[in-house]
Structure 1
Amino acid sequence: MARSSSFSITGIRQLQGKLKRNATLQDVKNILKLNGSELDRRMKRNAIFVKGYSIGDTKRSISLTMQDNGFTAKVAPTTNYSPFLEYGTRFMSAQPFVYPSFTVQKMKFLNDLTRVMK
């Protein structure tokens, strides 16, 4: 027997009204661009690996990409072995640099959005 699940979101109209009164979409784009660049810098600062052979390829591969007309900021390393550095393997311990950076920046991003909403 299949279970059906549903969800509902309340307050969308109030949110839209509040955004129309207080902020423009350009404000949101600016906040996103600022927080994306801060995340890029923070991630590069945290991408220092003390164990093993390190020449800085992962740090140099981290880049910020703006998508969806400025409504999406993507910051990520592009080396194919960066997940092994982040999560570790059975032969090496994890040296996380993406998640800690994201966790700190997420709080700043939410604070910035909250400030624009007031």
Structure 2
Amino acid sequence: MKRVMKNMSRIGDDVAEIMAGHSSDAVGIAVDNAKEVMNKGYWTGNLAREISSEMTTKLSFMLISGAYYSGFLEYGTRYMAAEPFMQPTVKIIKNKLRDDFSELLSG
């Protein structure tokens, strides 16, 4: 029983480490996706500077874009088609997390 509890403790630490790593990876992926969709006009870098992540618990984090126009890009307007950059990032990170957790649990 002690061995099981020790392994559970280790897995908890590993999960926290995985989440923290993917939190910072998510920012880089979101910035790359933002650069791809910002193809009108010119790139000032403001959108990239406004993207950040914040660990909310050991098991979760928020990916945030503070640029006021992020929602317009992500969902579009009646005059502009949506050019999502956050949703593709979420899908990529979700797949990476699934793979890492599967690897962690399998051995």
Q: Secondary structure at the match of 2:40?
A: coil
Question: 1-side partners of 2:45 and 2:23: how far apart?
Answer: 21
Identity of aligned residues (%): 31
Normalised TM-score (structure 2):
0.81
> Partner of 2:83: helix, strand, or coil?
coil
CA distance in structure 2 between the partners assigned to 1:22 and 1:64 by the alignment: 25
Q: Which of structures 1 and 2 has the bigger CA Rg? A: 1
Say whether the 8 Å CA contact 1:22–1:116 is kept in structure 2: no
**Shift of residue 56, structure 1, vs aligned partner:** 2.3
Aligned length: 101
Unpaired runs of 5+ in structure 2?
A: none
With the length of structure 1 as denominator, give the TM-score of the two structures: 0.74
Q: What pairs up with 1:49-64 in 2 under 5 angstroms?
A: 49-52=38-41, 54-64=43-53
Question: Which of the residues 101, 105, 108 maps onto 2:89?
Answer: 101
Q: Which protein is richer in helix relative to its size?
A: 2
The alignment status of 1:88 with 2:76, answered yes or no, reads yes
